[in-house]
Structures are given as structure tokens and as C-alpha cells.
Structure 1
């Protein structure tokens, strides 16, 4: 299987290009880039820095991958951007390398879709099957779980955690941690409930969704302290792996506060 490189593209000596890769017009590929098998780059794609793009990815026009982090303490160190397999990156997507202060790697999982002008900041960890809609933005050090949807023009503050299967509504400004399976909305974003549409689309059963809804009501009720409600929820639903995922997420050490409902549930 051959490599197809358009004559106007510039591929630096040292770049590693696997079999079946297609590099379109006016792309620029740096010397430390590694591109996996059967990945397609449309026109004007720039891959710089120590950047690895996985297999079977599609990268559309004017995307820039591996640029230096927007961090005043970065001094040109050889940090990395690692992108998994089967991702679709659309026009003008930007993803930055990490910083030495945070381990030096920005990591993006498999099977994601990153729509036009979306951005993954330095030192982010993004899971599998994630969707960033148009102009969605992740600040530095953000952690995004699997199957998360970040809607158009939404922004996630640096150091925030967003749990698995959660949904962030359009235009939301997320400054606090979002529980797994949660749905948040607003500026600043507040917890609006559970991501029920997403759970049904991902084939979560009726019993599991029912347990999550009951646990949510108990966890965010007005009675008692929040710590008491956490303990009560864990005791009542300890048999439920999804519920305990929420409890473990809340109990974990975190750099940001928790996103909570605005009103009584």
C-alpha cells in the first residue's frame, strides 16, 4: 500500500508516514510528526511539534495539530500531542501539545468527532467517542470522559472534569466539574438533570436509567447535608455501577468545584 502525497505538500525529513496515508494540497508536516495508516489529510493541514495522529483518521482543511500551548511558562520543550484512531477532525480544528508542568502530553482518544473550529487545549485528556460541536472549546488540563457531547460555542474552564456520557448544552460556560451522565446548561453552566437522551441512544436499559434518576433525586434533594446525601446514595445504590461512578467522581480529588442544580430536584 502506497502513500499519496500531493506535489504542493511539504513533508519534512524525519516525519513518519504509514502506509495508505493521503496528504492533500498545501499541507505542512513537521519532522516529528507521526501519521498512522490510512489517515487522510485534506488541504492546508498543518501538523507540527511532536504529534502522533492515529490510524483511519480524517483531518479536514486548515486544521492545525501540535501547535505550542497557550501557556506563558512554555519554553519550546518537546512535549506531545497524541491523537487516537478513527477520529474525524473538521475545518480549522486546533489541538495543542502539552506542557512540562503537567506531564507533557495532550491526549485524545479514539472514534471522536471534532467539528469546525473546535479546540483542545494543552494537557487535556479526552476520552473515546467524544463529540465537540462547532467552536466548542476546552481550556488547558480539562478531562473529558468517554461519550461526552460538548455542544456548539460551549467552553469548558481549565482543570474542569466532565464525566462520561454527559451532555453540555450550546453556549454553556462550564466552570465546575460535571458528574457522569449529567446534563448542564447556561452561563455559568448549572446541572439541569441527567443526559437521558444520550443514555437512551447509548442503549442504557430502563432499569439502569430508573436507578440513575432515583439516585439523582436523592443526591441533589434539599434534605440533609450534601455529604449525608452522598453517603445515603452510596448505601442505597451501591449495587449500581453507573450510580457509583457518579459517587466516585464526586468523592475524587478535584481542582474545580462541582456543578450543581440551580433549583430543587
Structure 2
């Protein structure tokens, strides 16, 4: 039987395309933190992996660490997956939550490029902003709205907000703040590069990507190491690069206008200036 203690004390809840992969790898390299075998367990989303059950979730964590964690950007899509904060609170009421915030316009564009590269969206930029796909991307960039869904269930002191630009400029300072927040010792992280899976996603065949995230394959996660997973991804990234169409200045300006009220609210909520944002 898997001990009950093999449950997260920290969850990186998002935002998507805002540095969660980089942070996951930083946390994975900390000697006291046991991150989930797969970066995105998506466990608290019923239409994803919640039906696999608590034993599957606990199997994502190897024993021997002071604290455990995972990183699932789907948890900061409360407009799509309702009830996630309440579900997390029901299982992990004392969990520490980490949210990364990137320039909302840049995040929107990166989300679009990612969706195009993975084959989940084929909307041209001219039709994007008022499409269902575009509306999802806008909502995911409305950080105040996403965070307020968590603050209905968790006190503010259980939430740590990270500026993506600061993570890029000074990862050591950010990680010092993160480990202080979760209650483990500081350690040197210099030399760990920025990470994301965009390049390999752009070259993974569509059927591989669908299988990769299928619930059936996820049942075997406990038998697949993190390093084996990364090697498989690299070996299977053989399709031609599906470069996304360029998002021009006019669309960026419209996205900025639509996101401005939420960005203002998020600055007030977070207490951070986000001086480099274009909104």
C-alpha cells in the first residue's frame, strides 16, 4: 500500500505557457522535493485523470523526500474545468499553490502557437480572437479571474505568485523564494537552463500526442521513469515542424485591450508591478 504521506505539499497550478516546465525541472532537481513522475498529472480534472483514482495519483511520487509536488497548468483554466480549486482543497487543504504570470499578451500568443504546433487548433490569426479557441486563450490569460477561483477556497498566504520575467532573469532568486515558501532549504540552481517542450511538441506526430495524454496510457505511468519519458519524447519527435502563423501587431493590440481590465486587477491582487508587460 502506498503511504498517505505521498501526496503533494505544493502544486504549480499555472499559468500555461508561463514557465511551468522550467519551474518543474528546477523543483525536480531540489534534493528535498519529490516532483511527480509526469509533469502534468491533470489529476484534479474529472475529464482527464481524476477517474484513475487516488492510488494512481500517489503512484506518481517516489518515497524519500521531505515534500512532494506537481505542475498542471490545466488547474488554472477554471473557465474550462470547473471545480478544480474546490477539488484540490477537498484532498489537500493545506497545499502550497504556485502561480506563474507571464505578460498576458505574450502568453496568449504562445498558447496559440502551442495549440497550432500540437494540432489542437487550426484557426487563422484573423479569425482567432472571437473563435471558441481564442476565447479560451483569452480566459487563460485573465489571471485575476483564475486566481480568484482559488481564493474562494484557500487563504491568500497559501498562494505564491511568480513573475515569469524574473524567473527568466534571476532563477536563483525566484527559487530561493519558492523554497522558503514551501519550507525546504535553499540550494544552488545555477546552470539549469530554461525549459519547455514546444520544440518537441511541434515535431511529435498527432497520433503520438493523443496517445501520450490518453487515460489508458496514463495507467502505466508508475512503470515509466521521468528520464525514460524524456528519451521517448525526443525519439518520437520526427514529424516536420508545424510552424504556427505569425500573430501581427493589430491582433496583439486587440488582445491587449481585452485583457487590460484583468491585468489591472491582477496587479492589485498580487502586489507585483509587472513593469515589462505590454498591457
Query: Is the TM value for this pair above 0.5?
Result: no
Max Rg structure? 1
Structure whose residues are more often helix by fraction: 2
**Structure with bigger RCO (C-alpha 8 Å, 6+ apart):** 2
TM superposition score normalised by structure 2: 0.22
